[in-house]
Structure 1
Amino acid sequence: MKKKWYSFLLIVVFIMVGLVGCGTVGGDDESVNKEKGSASGDTVTIAHEMGETKVPANPKKIVALEFSYVDALAALGISPIGIADDDDESRIIAPIQDKIGEYTSVGTRKQPSMEIISSLQPDLIIADLQRHKDVYEQLSDIAPTIVLNSLAADYEQILDDFQKISIAVGEEEKGQEVLEAHKKRIEEIKSEVPADEVRVVLPGVVTPDGFFAHNMDSYTGSLLESIGLKNAIQDGSDRYNKINLEQVVEFNPDVLFLMQAGEKTVIDEWAQNPLWENVSAVKNDSVYTVDRDTWSRFRGLISSEAILEEAVQQLYGK
């Protein structure tokens, strides 16, 4: 009897172990899926400029505190619920307005409203290192927050951060497809620049108070260099330089792309100075006024293509 009883117990134990083993395997798979963020309610860990943050695998309500993040989301077919648009919806450039539709303004990029952001109950906030590192903890108390380096980024950094954003919003595969299509388009535009192009270009923001030149390491400068348009300022010590008329004459760009802020700028004053006529770009009638929002503020895939298309059209009529 005892032997039969022990045999019965052993059979029961083996069955229970088998069932527990099956359950454990299923549990491990679920744990892995959560780490990868493959199911609703799961999270994915994103490394960023301020550390690591667990964000929902597929966040639906996203607040973007820089225009480059709006560009990235629009390229992925995602509409943010909140945007730091500097309290001016006209700053959202047309090709992106068409993709994102309505949103709530959360104030300026420099000082976004914590109250408005909180009221939106976001799943994810995307912030900028230079502008928002001091309020990172406040933002993180509202929702999972990742911090990227938009304001000080060059073109390559913008591409890298686009990939990071695509992972954070659960669109890594689509992000790769969008990025490949973007790179193909950039190569097409690059092919329109003559191989023997030797002119140097200088993009800069012009305001009533000054000329802020963008060097070869700036976003716009590095973007133009990516298709073979050499920047007049090859000194990498400061990406954004406030320079005077004498320095413009010294750098002597063959082409000027002026991102104009306001109806009257320092250029109106300089135009009365004989030195202005000594700049090659002025002599050659190669001074182009371009949209500041597109050329300076947005810094993304959509705006990059728009910038280069305009540059090539201006320079070569293509």
Structure 2
Amino acid sequence: MAFLGVLALVATACGTQDDRPAGPTRSVPHAMGTAQVGVDAQRVVVLDTGELDSVLALGVTPVGTVSADEATGPQSYLGQQAAQIGQVGTIQSPNLEAIAALQPDLILSNAVRHRDIFQQLQGIAPTVFSQSVGKSWQQNLLLAGDALGKRAEAERILAGYRGKADEVGAAFGDPARTEVSMVRFMSGGVRLYGAGSFIGTVLADVGLGRPPIARTDRTFVEVGREEIAKADGDLLFYAGYGEDGRARQAELSAGPLWQRLTAVTRGAAHPVDDDLWYLGIGPLAADRVLDELRSYAPGTRD
């Protein structure tokens, strides 16, 4: 596609999609209205990590995706499933020209990240937005299923996930008696993740308890280094986001306040993959997290 043609395409802010796509379509209600999506849509571009996880779980390999930041590619836990997908910028800054050049017939994202560029995106291809991210990952999977004509498969995936979550909970005996703390080191501080997050929903579906500070519908609560005692739990899982986050993790986890946490002194504080536990936000990640959680149930570890 010629450069000027691409610029013209991304500058178009179409209010309707009546003349696109050619051929049969399905109406897909979503956060920004209703999209007319071709029933044989195959060239899919996804603009967030949850959408990437979801479409791969549904058996579709997108032609384009974004990375969490400029230094990384798709989530590492996806491995070869995502290795050959074209890169179209970052979550914060999708490259509209690169998206248009891929000639997609469907774009998937969410209003939290990309509300401001929705008009430009739907000027490129039918665009379906979920309302939110994180806690809503199961509803977002169903929406992706609607857009791709794979609703029944999305429902089957979720039924399997819920059954597996029940099995993992049973491995803990009375899971509510085990309080699980989720700690994420960022460049600017420390986040303790609550019920309003992807990982919070997985822990809730297993039936695990949460420490007092995590019993919130918020995605996370920021704490300072002097408040690190609030991160304690019967089980504690921690990760660092990016190089700066991992540097902060190394610094604070070597300090006396962290070392005095009960979970640390009992050997119940464990590093986890940030890509998987915090960025995955979809059924493939949830399934892997359940496998890892099961390995921490009583009697399963030496």
* Same fold (TM > 0.5): yes
> Which TM-score applies when normalising by structure 1?
0.79
- Matching of residue 159 in structure 1 with residue 138 in structure 2: yes
> Where is the helix percentage greater, Structure 1 or Structure 2?
1
- Matching of residue 223 in structure 1 with residue 202 in structure 2: yes
**Partner residue in 2 for 1:115:** 97
Moved more, 294-303 or 45-54: 45-54
**Partner residue in 2 for 1:310:** 292
Please state whether the residue corresponding to 1:285 is helix, strand or coil: coil
Please state whether the residue corresponding to 1:281 is helix, strand or coil: helix
AA matched with 2:240:
Q
Moved more, 217-226 or 191-200: 191-200
How far 1:251 moved relative to its partner? 5.2
**Partner residue in 1 for 2:8:** none
One of 158, 177, 184 as aligned partner of 1:198: 177
- Matching of residue 91 in structure 1 with residue 70 in structure 2: no
In structure 1, the gaps of 5 or more residues are 1-39
Q: Deviations over 1:240-286 (max 9, x none)?
A: 22212333314532222112233843343334543323322122121
**Partner residue in 1 for 2:86:** 104
Matches within 5 A, 1:1-318: 41-85=23-67, 86-87=69-70, 90-94=73-77, 96-100=78-82, 102-151=84-133, 153-154=134-135, 157-195=136-174, 198-232=177-211, 233-236=213-216, 238-250=218-230, 252-261=232-241, 262=243, 264-316=246-298, 317=300
Moved more, 127-136 or 85-94: 85-94
How far 1:105 moved relative to its partner? 0.4
The structure whose RCO (Cα within 8 Å, separation 6+) is larger is 2
Q: Is the 8 A contact 1:214 1:240 kept in 2?
A: yes
Q: Is the 8 A contact 2:64 2:87 kept in 1?
A: yes
Percent of aligned positions that are identical: 24
Distance in 2 (alpha carbons) for counterparts of 1:167 and 1:120 = 22
Please state whether the residue corresponding to 1:106 is helix, strand or coil: strand
Q: Is the 8 A contact 2:92 2:113 kept in 1?
A: yes
Distance in 1 (alpha carbons) for counterparts of 2:56 and 2:296 = 26
AA matched with 1:230:
G
Please state whether the residue corresponding to 2:284 is helix, strand or coil: helix
Distance in 2 (alpha carbons) for counterparts of 1:245 and 1:204 = 12
Please state whether the residue corresponding to 2:278 is helix, strand or coil: helix
Distance in 2 (alpha carbons) for counterparts of 1:88 and 1:78 = 25
Please state whether the residue corresponding to 2:123 is helix, strand or coil: helix
Report the RMSD for the aligned CA atoms in angstroms.
2.3
How far 1:76 moved relative to its partner? 1.1
AA matched with 1:207:
M
Q: Is the 8 A contact 1:87 1:105 kept in 2?
A: no
Change (3 A) 1:297 1:166: same
Please state whether the residue corresponding to 1:217 is helix, strand or coil: coil
Distance in 2 (alpha carbons) for counterparts of 1:60 and 1:273 = 51
Report the count of equivalent residues: 275
